[in-house]
């Protein structure tokens, strides 16, 4: 089919009421998706409230007041899938509502799955089940308990937890230091009237991005835009870019103790590199050479894990919106100081220009493969373009690949000189260290 050969690209098709509407045209998939993103600045005051809103909304809407009824309706839409959730991108808290369904091209003529799917998502967001003018008490109390369990369970994945805690310690006095789901104490304080009031403010004032993916006729998109323009909106909030120009300070050492046998060591760095600058591509390749993705060719994998046998795992990871980088490793508790020494030595080697042709070429290749693989999933494509928009970048997949390919060894050395150690976080045993 000729449409399947279309180059994946995003087009901004409308901007109404503080709602930006985008269409990612692709004929590669048999399904379409609709994604609605609400943007807010991370803050302790609203994080838990914002996280609880989608959890309560997904329980039912006016025409389908229970989740079971929503599930049955999704089955009628040829097994469409619906979900919602919360994400953190720099100092933004993103609340997403999402539905995926079979494209109308693959069903009989008059099914109108696109319009039915949009109507469902629209009603879930704008027409919740109410009881005495606020949310249904049963749904609210159940979802408060679920959110508290979710927050408590973050310690279960010690590897991810250690990275998040290191970043939060680095940015303790900045919006980025707020956990995107808030705290258990914050959740416990939420009352029904407070949450409903926040929901009204949420829908009326937060900036919104809507992304459609797949082959969709212009007249259908036009009707959707008309529907979006009818939402009551006012005083649209300005959500600013994340700050990365944080002044230098002494290295902070943070130790947390739990019932663990293996230490989790995370070194947090300030990259001093903005994602909307072409220098970010130099940082991307630097990260790949150092340990991004846990690549086998990387310096951390080869030296910390293989040669020195100091780590069960070791990798580096960028938080591009906030200009941060973490080096994370799982180690024997007694090897903490030696692991820090070898990790910092690898970074020093890059700074000195000791980068082999193989390390550079393998990183360029794996980076290209990684970027291309994002096009294999509609959700990843949407996340890519959303992320580019947040960062203020217009590069598409191919432009990103070409800019990464042009990065030289000297470029990597130059960017290495900007990276500064900020915090050393160590998760250790209650009985040791």
How far apart, in Å, are the Cα atoms of 173 and each of 42, 170, 176, 247, 354?
12, 8, 8, 13, 37
Per the structure block, which two tokens stand in for 399?
């432009």
According to the model, what pLDDT value does residue 332 have?
Answer: 94
According to the model, what pLDDT value does residue 248 have?
Answer: 67
User: Same CATH fold, 252-429 and 2-229?
Assistant: yes
Q: Which residue has the tokens 């509407």?
A: 21
pLDDT in tens, the chain (433 residues): 444 445 578 999 999 989 999 999 998 999 999 999 999 999 999 999 999 999 999 999 999 999 999 999 999 999 999 999 999 999 999 999 999 999 988 887 677 899 999 999 999 999 999 999 999 999 999 999 999 999 999 999 999 999 999 999 999 989 999 999 999 999 999 999 999 999 999 999 999 999 999 999 999 999 999 999 999 999 999 999 898 877 768 999 999 999 999 999 999 999 999 999 889 999 999 999 999 977 789 999 999 998 888 989 999 999 999 999 999 999 999 999 999 999 999 999 999 999 999 999 999 999 999 999 999 999 999 999 999 999 988 899 999 999 999 999 999 999 999 999 999 999 999 875 4
Give CA torsion, residues 57, 61, 67, 68, to 10 deg: 180
Per the structure block, which two tokens stand in for 279?
């220098």
Tell me if 41 sits within 8 A of 230, measured CB to CB.
no
Per the structure block, which two tokens stand in for 294?
């846990």
Q: Estimate the share of the chain in helix, then strand, then coil, as percent rounded to the nearest 5.
A: 45, 25, 30
- Domain extents in the chain: 2-229, 252-429
Q: What is the pTM of this model?
A: 0.93
Residues 6+ apart with CB under 8 A from 173: none
C-alpha–C-alpha distance, residues 108 and 26, integer Å: 21
C-alpha–C-alpha distance, residues 249 and 268, integer Å: 13
Q: Which residue has the tokens 């080096």?
A: 327
Of the candidates 67, 175, 195, 207, the one whose C-alpha atom is nearest the C-alpha of residue 133 is 195
Residue 134 backbone phi and psi in degrees, to 5: -135, -175
Decide the pairing of beta strands 9-16 and 31-41.
unpaired
C-alpha–C-alpha distance, residues 243 and 234, integer Å: 26
Per the structure block, which two tokens stand in for 114?
């696109």
What is the CATH class of 252-429?
Answer: alpha beta
What is the CATH class of 2-229?
Answer: alpha beta
Question: Nearest 5 degrees, angle CA 295-CA 273-CA 166?
Answer: 65
């Amino acid at each position: 089919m000729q449409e399947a050969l279309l180059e994946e690209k995003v087009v901004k098709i409308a901007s109404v009421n503080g709602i930006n509407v985008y269409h990612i045209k692709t004929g590669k998939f048999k399904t379409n998706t609709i994604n609605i993103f609400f943007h807010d600045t991370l803050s302790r005051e609203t994080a838990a409230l914002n996280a609880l809103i989608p959890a309560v909304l997904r329980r039912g809407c006016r025409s389908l007041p229970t989740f079971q009824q929503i599930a049955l309706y999704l089955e009628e839409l040829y097994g469409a899938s619906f979900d919602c959730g919360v994400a953190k991108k720099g100092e933004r808290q993103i609340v997403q509502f999402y539905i995926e369904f079979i494209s109308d091209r693959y069903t009989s003529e008059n099914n109108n799955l696109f319009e039915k799917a949009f109507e469902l998502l629209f009603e879930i967001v704008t027409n919740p089940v109410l009881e005495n003018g606020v949310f249904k008490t049963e749904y609210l109390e159940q979802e408060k308990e679920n959110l508290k369990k979710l927050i408590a369970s973050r310690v279960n994945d010690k590897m991810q937890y250690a990275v998040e805690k290191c970043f939060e310690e680095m940015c303790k006095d900045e919006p980025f230091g707020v956990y995107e789901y808030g705290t258990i104490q914050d959740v416990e304080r939420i009352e029904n009237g407070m949450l409903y009031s926040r929901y009204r403010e949420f829908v009326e004032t937060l900036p919104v991005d809507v992304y459609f993916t797949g082959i969709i006729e212009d007249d259908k998109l036009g009707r959707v835009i008309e529907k979006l323009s009818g939402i009551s909106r006012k005083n649209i909030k300005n959500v600013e870019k994340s700050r990365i120009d944080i002044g230098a300070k002494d290295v902070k050492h943070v130790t947390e103790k739990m019932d663990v046998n293996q230490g989790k060591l995370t070194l947090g760095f300030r990259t001093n590199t903005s994602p909307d600058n072409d220098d970010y591509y130099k940082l991307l390749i630097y990260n790949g050479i150092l340990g991004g993705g846990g690549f086998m060719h990387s310096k951390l994998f080869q030296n910390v894990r293989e040669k020195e046998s100091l780590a069960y795992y070791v990798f580096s990871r960028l938080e591009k919106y906030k200009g941060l980088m973490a080096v994370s490793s799982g180690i024997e508790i007694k090897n903490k100081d030696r692991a820090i020494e070898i990790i910092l030595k690898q970074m020093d080697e890059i700074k000195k220009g000791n980068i082999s042709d193989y390390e550079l070429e393998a990183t360029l290749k794996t980076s290209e493969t990684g970027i291309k693989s994002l096009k294999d999933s509609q959700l990843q494509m949407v996340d890519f373009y959303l992320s580019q928009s947040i960062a203020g970048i217009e590069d598409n997949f191919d432009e990103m690949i070409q800019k990464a390919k042009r990065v030289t060894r000297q470029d990597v050395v130059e960017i290495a000189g900007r990276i500064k150690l900020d915090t050393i976080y160590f998760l250790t045993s209650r009985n040791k260290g």
